[in-house]
A and B are shown apart, each in its own frame.
Chain A
Amino acid sequence: MNDKEDQILLEVENLRKYFAVKHGVLRRKKGWLKAVDGVSFELFRGETLGLVGESGCGKSTTGRIILRLIKPEPNSQIFFHDNDKVIDIAKATPQELKYLRTRMQIIFQDPYSSLNPWMKIGEIIAEPLLIHKIMVGKELTNKVHSLLEMVGLDASYAMRYPHEFSGGQRQRIGIARALALNPTLVVCDEPVSSLDVSVQAQVINLLVDLQERLHLSYIFIAHDLGVVRYISRRVAVMYLGRIVEIGSTEEIFHNPAHPYTEALLSSMLSTDPDSSKERLQLEGDVPSPINVPSGCPFHPRCRYYQQNKWPECVSDIPTPTSIYSDTHKVSCHFAPNLNLCGVETEGTVKIGVKNGFNT
């Protein structure tokens, strides 16, 4: 790991986003849906941070706030450390926003709907360069061609329309467009989820190559833990709008400290037909972010709470605390007492308290 990798690019502090919703049978009750509720993390230059968690836990919302496609609640802070200055994305002025749009980009999940079917590939890729008045004419044409080649497509494709391309090719076009303005940060929101495995592998290789060449930082959102483990240097696990655990990929996969992470890892499928038939099965669905359970939001589904009925789990919200190392943080009152199972970890799952209560 060189110095450059340890330079902070992004500092996210206490990120919140509440949506006003009507709910109940008659849709008359007003309430707040806490899509993101106090998320804090750092992103270093040139690294990939994986963001995982069940559907609806707030991954996309987090990504979209960072890009300021939506505005966070007041008091949220997102410090973007650019070459010589620091900009708080949450409070950016329109002028700063315009500048930030050239520094940050997003790649979406669906390569079918994210490209305008009426525009030629060349026009789609050139659009951001034209909007920001970066270049025109021959220079622009050359840039588009070199972007196409960079993502492994033929320059002649510039004259064709999206429907003429396969899913993997369209995803490459989306990547070329995202890279047109030389961003430093790219939020990849499920970039390979809709692709077949063999195509998925091509796109992942491309993302890894481009990161090395252009020193990009990725926030990589995905629910396929195999893909996240492969591509990420660090991983953040979200549950109901919060990060419940964050650490290096190694730490998260081999030494998980949060019961939710353990359950998530245990549901990872492998291609070994004899692999751990002894899986921990997480019962129940994700609760609604409108009625977040009291205390630890995971307690209704937590097997350790179910066994021990610790009152703290219901009364107090756990805060992120370092465990095992400085880089590894977990939000669970009893994490130091639990002995959890990671992937490929030897031995059986030990249930309950290892060292008695913490006081």
Chain B
Amino acid sequence: MEHLLEIDQLKTYYFTDCGIVKAVDGVSFSVEKGQCLGIVGESGCGKSQTALSIMGLVSKPQGRIVSGKILYRDKKGHITDLATLSPNGYEYRSIRGKEIAMIFQEPISSLSPVYTIGDQIVEALIEHTTLSKKEATHRAVELLKTVGIPAAEERIHDYPHQLSGGMCQRAMIAMALSCEPRLLIADEPTTALDVTIQLQILRLLKELQERLSMGLMMITHDLGVIAEIADYVIVMYLGKVVEKGPVRKILREPKHPYTQGLLQSRPSGTAGKVRLNPIRGVVPSAIDPPAGCPFSTRCPKVLDKCSAFPPFALWEEGHAAACWLYENFM
């Protein structure tokens, strides 16, 4: 298949006073057109840094993509390695926000408080398209309607603080969609929202992804969100991909002890009769990760050979887990 985006052995490191933080440490995956890829993992495992690397927004001067490829295939079929582009150069700017858009983890911080939401969407449209101001305004209203903001004609005159959290999040989505991106990266877009609004937003994203045949990368720590929206999933731990596969495989037949642990820690069913089964211990520091399998310090099934990094074991439908418990290596 010809991938929309292919990440190959991406490494994004932060060079800090305390040492090197290997935020993303050899991650590979691909995103297809019209498909939703879910990225799941605990806080600090490198989900946002993976996304920011794709957007060319790794914070300078400490952070840097040290190696790996980010291959993006444009409309005409040209493949560009984004990792080699200058983040502020013309080429990146013509892709970022236009062909690849992102909904950031903190919604409020990416909408400017001093401009109305209408102005912000219109500005994005004028920058990235050939629309006139009048056409862009018309389009902004349409977009706000698409994302389910009632009375959009009036709402475009509102400032972000006049909107509820869910409305702001929808305005953000409208802005991200303004230029009809081919790939949308959504970084925890519903974490701060009520469950009822969360469901509205997830439904909306799924519908848009299917209708516009867009690639969608959904970053979350919630396996419930994954079950609701993802087609294919990668599970990250300490900067590395530990398991990947179709959503049903990952949720029904998880192979990696970390994925199994995540699923077992979720409370299910009624009142505390069965004790929850949390993963023991804490995530080690990203500055000083364990040698070998990153999960070895907490894994209930750890073996001697886990002190070496495990290759991916493979099952049908591209289901793979980096774990020494299995022998079906490539």
Contacts and interface: CB of A to CB of B under 8 A. Distances in A.
Contacts of B120: none
Residue among B150, B195, B252 facing the most chain A CB atoms (10 A cut-off): B195
Contacts of B195: 54, 223-225, 264, 267-269
Interface stretch (B70-78, B80-88, B269-277): B269-277
Contact of B270 (A208, A223, A250, A268): A250
Contact of B228 (A166, A253, A269, A282): A269
Contacts of A169: 282
Nearest to A248: B271
Interface string B138-179: 000000000000100000000000001111000000000000
B324 to A, nearest CB: 21
A268 B225 CA distance: 10
A225 B195 CA distance: 9
Interface string A136-163: 0000000000000000000000000000
Interface stretch (B7-15, B23-31, B111-119, B258-266): B258-266
Nearest to B276: A201
Contacts of A281: 199-200, 203
Contact of A263 (B196, B262, B271): B196
Nearest to B271: A249
A230 B197 contact: no
B199 A285 contact: no
B42 interface: yes
A286 interface: yes
A197 B227 contact: no
Contacts of B267: 201, 204, 226-227, 229-231
Residue among A169, A198, A229, A232 facing the most chain B CB atoms (10 A cut-off): A198
A271 interface: yes
B244 interface: no
A226 B272 contact: no
A283 to B, nearest CB: 8
B227 A285 contact: no
Contacts of A271: 223-224, 226-227, 251, 263, 266
A273 B221 contact: no
A253 B270 contact: yes
A83 interface: no
Contacts of A114: none
B43 A167 contact: yes
A95 to B, nearest CB: 37
Contacts of B226: 271
A114 B282 CA distance: 21
Interface residues of B, number: 46
A263 B200 CA distance: 12
A204 B274 CA distance: 12
A200 B265 contact: yes
Interface in A255-283: 263-264, 267-275, 279, 281-283
Interface residues of A, number: 47
B268 interface: yes
Contact of A279 (B199, B247, B266, B272): B199
A268 B227 CA distance: 12
Interface in A272-321: 272-275, 279, 281-286
A226 to B, nearest CB: 5
A279 to B, nearest CB: 7
B318 interface: no
B222 interface: yes
A160 to B, nearest CB: 15
Given A205-B275, A230-B267, A269 B225 contact: yes
A224 B190 CA distance: 13
A111 interface: no
A34 B252 CA distance: 46
Contacts of B224: 226, 268-271
A281 B200 CA distance: 7
B297 interface: no
Nearest to B203: A281
Nearest to B194: A54
B167 A285 contact: yes
B198 interface: yes
A205 B196 contact: no
A219 to B, nearest CB: 16
A199 interface: yes
A227 B282 CA distance: 21
A223 B272 CA distance: 17
A182 interface: no
A196 B188 CA distance: 13
B139 to A, nearest CB: 24
Contacts of B283: 166
Given A55-B194, A224-B195, A281-B200, 15 more contacts: A196-B42, A197-B222, A201-B266, A201-B276, A201-B277, A204-B267, A223-B194, A225-B195, A226-B266, A226-B267, A263-B196, A271-B223, A271-B263, A271-B266, A273-B251
Interface of B: 42-43, 150, 164-167, 193-200, 203, 221-228, 247-248, 251-252, 261-263, 265-272, 275-279, 282-283
26 contacts: A54-B196, A166-B282, A196-B42, A198-B42, A198-B265, A199-B282, A201-B267, A201-B276, A208-B272, A223-B195, A226-B224, A227-B267, A229-B271, A230-B270, A231-B267, A253-B270, A264-B195, A264-B196, A267-B195, A269-B199, A270-B227, A272-B227, A273-B247, A273-B252, A281-B200, A286-B194
The 6 closest A-B pairs by CB, nearest first: A269-B224, A201-B278, A230-B267, A201-B265, A198-B279, A201-B276
